[in-house]
A and B are shown apart, each in its own frame.
Chain A
Amino acid sequence: MTINKPKLHSGSGDTDEASPQQKKSWVPTVLIIVAIAYLALIQYIPAINVFVQAFSKGIGPFFANLVRADFLNAAKLTVLLALIAVPLNTVFGLCAAWAIARHKFPGRAFVLSIIDLPFSISPVVAGLMIVLLYGRNGWFGPLLESHDIKIIFAFPGMVLATAFVSMPFVAREVIPVLEEFGSDQEEAAKTLGANDWQTFWRVTLPGIRWGLLYGLILTNARAMGEFGAVSVVSGNIANTTQSLPLFVEDAYKQYETEAAFSAAVLLALLAVVTLILKEIVERKTSIKEVE
């Protein structure tokens, strides 16, 4: 790319300028090797290890693990959690993005920080909050108990925990897109007699679709992969309140390493799909941001 540029200056044949040129020939190579080596130690080797361990005894045992009742139940729960938490956070994210991007008001930065809060709260602390609220000794505990509703150590608590940790993604990704998109076209649509819903559906949504998709991908990945918060509120009971990430840890603790890695492969594939989709969306929009 740009490393060739300095050649323009050293073209004079001046020896003083030629020496950094010679240095440049090995500096990039060394830096690239160091960067790749670091990534390999931290990311690539562990990532490859997931697949090697899962298939170390062949394809047969791998599939045998995947049809276990407790595994299937965990997979079903994980999908259900995402199916509830993702739409919930999408509606919230779109509303929040709209409210924030379309209005200038005092304390706007503060509201943005509040929306970001779930990112900076430890998942265990998030789980703890939900327990303190809906648990037996919690605020709503007695009320829930008198109506025989179980939230903690049950599915509703897991939904709350999942929704909590994956809350900000959609809002975070859509706000900048919405701001850049501007409100001119929306106003034009309204002048032409479109109602709010038509304006949103026909004008705004197509304009923000890539940002929204990006947010959805991240929300889904976090929702399916969440471990800490879900593990605090679920009680981690096999076959009942065990999602796939919890199954991985539980199997590993029970020395069923192969079962743990079989489930891990599925979650790793989820990660791979997420990264590929992210890449596609990024190419479409050429946005690159940290969550």
Chain B
Amino acid sequence: MTLSQTAEVEARDPAWKTFFRKVIQLPWTWRITIVYLIVMLLVPIAAMFLKASTETPARFWEIATSELALATYNVTFVTSVLAALLNGVFGTLIAWVLVRYDFPLKRIVDATVDLPFALPTSVAGLTLATVYSDNGWIGSLLAPLGIKVSFTRLGVWVAMVFISLPFIVRTVQPVLQEMEHEIEEAAWSLGASQWQTFWNVILPPLFPSILTGVALGFSRAVGEYGSTVIISSNTPYQDLIAPVLIFQRLEQYDYSGATVIGIVLLSISLVLLLGINLLQGWARRYDNK
């Protein structure tokens, strides 16, 4: 078919046929991408939403806000926020130290920040549970103070801190690297104290990246399963996290129950993803300055 003929056919056919033809004529790289995304990602998501839609809205709401479910949201989301915020402070500090100062073994410290990405989560859970248990290396120091970490909500928090740290460091680090040192020097020479320089000169352009990192870390901590399930005692109303509740519902063949909690978690991830994208756009404003 020559080009003019194609144009003629397109002009005759309704819009959907034109669209369909365009899809058929796509290069094979596009076809593989689209087919893989549909089969692996979109169909499973659709299956979950359709499964959830078989429940009446009232019943959906009832499952989603049952007392046990609310308790797991509390443990999951509140603990994740606390973990991400702690890392917001210390992750920024670590990024700062890595960018601005020189010290022995700096390269190794820099490389090992990514450990939580590389270490399988079950191994992380296993070793954190051991180290922070009552007779573990760190736990035994805390036990006399009456602080129990492993198999409590505090342990879940430690696992979430572990898993979300690299997100904050790796988001803040490149921005700090590109920040011009001259601005700080200008502030100093104008008589600003170190604290003033940090608070008024360094922090404002850094803030969007810190927030992005915190959001990324939070989103990872919310979904985290492997390390938290091992370090937690999974006791309802105490340290049971939402992903474990989904797992337990599935084990009891309660597919609707699992799906409803799953939809709640998924929707929150989607909202977070959207928020993070907006935040990154905001952070990028400072790129060309």
Using CB atoms and an 8 Å cutoff, list the residues of chain A in contact with chain B.
1-3, 5-6, 9, 16-17, 20, 23-24, 27-28, 31-32, 34-36, 38-39, 41-47, 49-50, 53, 91-92, 94-96, 98-99, 109, 113-118, 120-126, 128-133, 135, 137-139, 160, 163-164, 167, 218, 221, 224-228, 231-232, 244-246, 248-249, 252, 257, 260-261, 264, 267-268, 270-272, 274-276, 278-279, 288-291
In the assembled complex, which residues on chain A have CB atoms less than 8 Å from the CB atom of B47? 129, 132-133, 138-139
* CB of B20 within 8 Å of the partner chain: no
The main secondary structure of chain B at its interface with chain A is helix
Given contacts A95-B29, A113-B273, contact A50 B41 (CB under 8 A): no
Q: Count CB-based A-B contacts (< 8 Å).
A: 277
* Given pairs A43-B115, A47-B127, A50-B123, 8 additional interface contacts (CB within 8 A): A17-B188, A28-B97, A39-B109, A99-B27, A121-B266, A135-B255, A225-B119, A272-B118
Q: Report Cα–Cα, A138/B43, bound state, in Å.
A: 12
Q: Would you call B117 and A42 a contact (CB within 8 A)?
A: no
| Given A5-B185, A132-B259, A245 and B122 contact (CB-CB distance below 8 Å) | yes
Question: Across the interface, do A275 and B126 meet the contact criterion of CB distance under 8 Å?
Answer: no
In the complex, what's the smallest C-beta–C-beta distance from A31 to chain B, in angstroms? 5
> Contacting B246 at CB < 8 Å: which of A27, A28, A94, A125?
A125
Interface check B200, CB cutoff 8 A: no
Of chain A, the residue at the smallest CB distance from B228 is: A228
**Across-interface contacts of A130 in B (CB, < 8 A):** 44
State A251–B27 Cα separation when bound (angstroms). 49
Contact between B162 and A249 (Cβ–Cβ < 8 Å)? no
**Nearest Cβ in chain B — how far from A271, in angstroms?**
4
A129→B44 contact, CB < 8 A: yes
A-B contact list, 13 entries, CB within 8 Å: A9-B189, A20-B194, A114-B42, A122-B243, A124-B223, A125-B243, A125-B262, A129-B262, A132-B48, A268-B123, A270-B118, A288-B173, A289-B174
Of B193, B223, B277, most buried by chain A (CB within 10 Å of CB) is B223
Assuming the contacts A23-B194, A164-B40, asked whether A123 and B225 have C-beta atoms less than 8 A apart, the reply is yes
